[in-house]
Structure 1
Amino acid sequence: MRTITLRRSLVALFAAAISFGAITHAQAETLRIGYQKYGTLVLLKSSGALEKRLAEKGIEVQWTEFPAGPQLLEGLNVGSIDFGTTGETPPVFAQAAGADLLYVAFEPPAPLSEAILLPKDSPITSVAELKGKKVALNKGSNVHYLLVRALEEAGLSITDITPVYLPPADARAAFERGSVDAWVIWDPFQAAAEQQLQARTLRDGQGLVSNHQFYLAARPFAEKHPEVVVALVDEIRKTGEWTRANVDEVTAQVAPLLGLSPEITRAAVERQSYGAQLITPEVASAQQKIADTFSDLKLIPKRLSIAEVIWRQPAKVAQAQ
């Protein structure tokens, strides 16, 4: 009886080992991408170009939608995705929280794609007048840095206002009912508020912030599959080039996905930037400035080194392209 039980245990262990091996193998052959409702990755997803290219390498692609950058990077941190895109600030908060991520690529600046908005009948005319006011924003998102810089420009600090941390949908609701005095937001929510609510722009990012979009990867995946990362960035770049040359077609394709009018969608598409490329020293330096700013304000618990989390394309991969 003991022998039979032992044999059954060994069989169960063997089966479990086979199952574990199959899971590990499957994970190695799957690229899991996190995306948001709007952006170049949405167009890449709909085109199927990446799936076709990676199928030749025996790699499948899985897509998961996230409401904003901080949530997306939490998914990357816990291992549910391998790659994704966010604005400038979420990676700083994620790195400070210990996420094992790498900056892979970036899009050119898009400073008009985020802004501090006011209700159409607001008496406020300058950022300085936000002192003591309630300002809605998504904590840790790209607009967090825009708000900090705009307040600094006006001689204020984040402590001079009352931040109301809300995700975009809740922030818009608070903005509409007058529960907050201003809303810091990005496209396409920004374009929608401008056209649907006649929201006024108090300050956008022009001359103040770059508002880069970053593409990030989990370090283990990027180090194990550098050729996949290179192929992915290449397809993102191609999609961006096509988008820039086909604004009407992109607008018609994206508007139904967003549930927004073509007019709103086109405004957002035209303000976005295109042309993904690997991280440059200048962009890394700009991102370091953002990290230092949040550290100085005690919004993150420690100083960070952005240089330590920049992905470097291996020479052998570059030669193979």
Structure 2
Amino acid sequence: MKKFFTAVLAMALLTALPGRAETIRIGFQKGGGLLTALKRQGAVEKAFAPSGTTVRWIEFPAGPQMLEALNAGSIDFGTTGAPPPIFAQAAGIDVVYVGAEPPPVASEAIIVKPDSPIRTVAQLKGKRIAFAKGSGSHLLLVAALNKAGLTLRDVKPIFLGPSEARAAFDGGSVDAWVVWDPYLAAAQKSYNARVVADYTGLLQANGFYLASRAFVQRSPRAVATLLEQIAQAGKWANAHREEMVAMMAPQVGVPPDVITTWLGRQTAGVMPMDAAIVANQQKVADLFYREKLIPRPVTIATQAWTWRRQ
């Protein structure tokens, strides 16, 4: 652990910003993976210390709220799933894609209770389904329904955040729940929840690191330094799962075995925004427009920033 953060600090010293000091405001979610780990260890603060730059961490319940804060100028940098920046673009928010995470397959799912008669996506027709509006779960549900020949108009969407949705799922007021890890892993442990569908065989959805246009234009080297921190943390995290579990369990507030399940279903890291990633995100945006979930088409390529790795 100590060797890892020493290496990260050494790399940061090579890339840290010269010039005037500033404050970088980073938005994160409770189940925010690498950002949660980096916040706990203070590695980002160490990276920017030589330049006098300070770091503030601001927690959000989900991606849409984070992007509202980005638009308002309350944060500079954050991470979300694929849908929130598309909804943000459609609302006129000038969000910039600066990096991408490997797309999840099994770390987000449509789940039902073990005694539910629902076993296929087609059987969701007419059912009450809880999910966070504008989140990655929104995309998963739309993509799964689309493959089954259905749309959101064929089900009864119940827009709830993870905490409220868990209560609704527990109390039986919804028939299914679409959610991401670690909430998914926790539900599987608590309820023996059964997966109806995950991203297997569907349009893939990257996670994204996002920044305000003002931050990218003002401090491109700071953006690159943040991404290098995340990349190095990802390499270490993939090779040291047990230590990641021990680090994240108290921070996220769920049992270690839930964190183990979550981390075992994903590959940590960050990649530059290349043509393939941009094209895939454009497919997500086009799907949302066809389904009338956004009021106008959006273009991803104009919002992508190229990270040139050291």
TM-score, normalised relative to structure 2: 0.91
Match of 1:282 in 2: 276
Question: Would you say 1:44 and 2:38 are equivalent positions?
Answer: yes
Return the alpha-carbon distance in structure 2 between the equivalents of residues 78 and 28 of structure 1.
Answer: 22
Q: CA deviation at 1:158?
A: 1.1
Question: Would you say 1:240 and 2:234 are equivalent positions?
Answer: yes
Return the alpha-carbon distance in structure 1 between the equivalents of residues 268 and 256 of structure 2.
Answer: 20
Amino acid at match of 1:225: S
The residue matched to 2:47 in structure 1 has which SS?
Answer: helix
Amino acid at match of 1:114: E
Task: Structure 2 unaligned segments of length 5 or more: list them.
Answer: 1-19
Match of 1:30 among 23, 35, 40: 23
The residue matched to 1:111 in structure 2 has which SS?
Answer: coil
Q: Is the 8 A contact 1:111 1:209 kept in 2?
A: no
Match of 1:20 in 2: none
Q: Is the 8 A contact 2:205 2:281 kept in 1?
A: no
Q: CA deviation at 1:28?
A: 6.4
The residue matched to 2:97 in structure 1 has which SS?
Answer: strand
Match of 2:167 among 161, 167, 173: 173
Q: Which has the larger radius of gyration?
A: 1
Return the alpha-carbon distance in structure 1 between the equivalents of residues 76 and 257 of structure 2.
Answer: 34
Return the alpha-carbon distance in structure 1 between the equivalents of residues 296 and 103 of structure 2.
Answer: 27
Say which structure is richer in helix: 1
Question: Would you say 1:129 and 2:123 are equivalent positions?
Answer: yes
Match of 2:157 among 138, 160, 163: 163
Q: CA deviation at 1:142?
A: 0.6
What pairs up with 1:70-109 in 2 under 5 angstroms? 70-109=64-103
Deviations 1:246-303 (A, max 9, x none): 1111111111222211111110111122121111110101101111111111111101
Match of 1:271 among 248, 265, 276: 265
Q: Is the 8 A contact 1:117 1:201 kept in 2?
A: yes
Return the alpha-carbon distance in structure 2 between the equivalents of residues 258 and 48 of structure 1.
Answer: 16
Deviations 1:68-87 (A, max 9, x none): 11111111111100000000
Q: Is the 8 A contact 2:94 2:212 kept in 1?
A: yes
Give the 4+ runs in structure 1 shifted more than 2 A. Answer: none
Return the alpha-carbon distance in structure 2 between the equivalents of residues 258 and 202 of structure 1.
Answer: 26
Amino acid at match of 1:130: L
Q: Is the 8 A contact 2:29 2:62 kept in 1?
A: yes
Amino acid at match of 1:34: G
Q: How many residues align?
A: 290
Return the alpha-carbon distance in structure 2 between the equivalents of residues 224 and 28 of structure 1.
Answer: 12
Aligned identity (percent) is: 50
Match of 1:255 among 249, 254, 261: 249
Q: Is the 8 A contact 2:106 2:198 kept in 1?
A: yes
Task: Structure 1 unaligned segments of length 5 or more: list them.
Answer: 1-26
Question: Would you say 1:295 and 2:285 are equivalent positions?
Answer: no
Q: Is the 8 A contact 2:205 2:284 kept in 1?
A: no
The residue matched to 1:103 in structure 2 has which SS?
Answer: strand
Amino acid at match of 1:255: A
Return the alpha-carbon distance in structure 1 between the equivalents of residues 103 and 294 of structure 2.
Answer: 24
Q: CA deviation at 1:309?
A: 0.5
The residue matched to 1:63 in structure 2 has which SS?
Answer: strand
Return the alpha-carbon distance in structure 2 between the equivalents of residues 160 and 28 of structure 1.
Answer: 53
Match of 1:182 in 2: 176
Q: CA deviation at 1:46?
A: 1.5
Deviations 1:34-70 (A, max 9, x none): 0011211011111222111111222111100111111
Q: CA deviation at 1:221?
A: 0.6
Match of 1:154 in 2: 148
Match of 2:48 among 38, 50, 54: 54
Q: Is the 8 A contact 2:21 2:52 kept in 1?
A: no
Return the alpha-carbon distance in structure 2 between the equivalents of residues 265 and 49 of structure 1.
Answer: 21
Return the alpha-carbon distance in structure 2 between the equivalents of residues 275 and 256 of structure 1.
Answer: 22
Match of 1:66 among 50, 60, 68: 60
Amino acid at match of 1:274: A
The residue matched to 2:106 in structure 1 has which SS?
Answer: helix
Return the alpha-carbon distance in structure 2 between the equivalents of residues 131 and 302 of structure 1.
Answer: 27
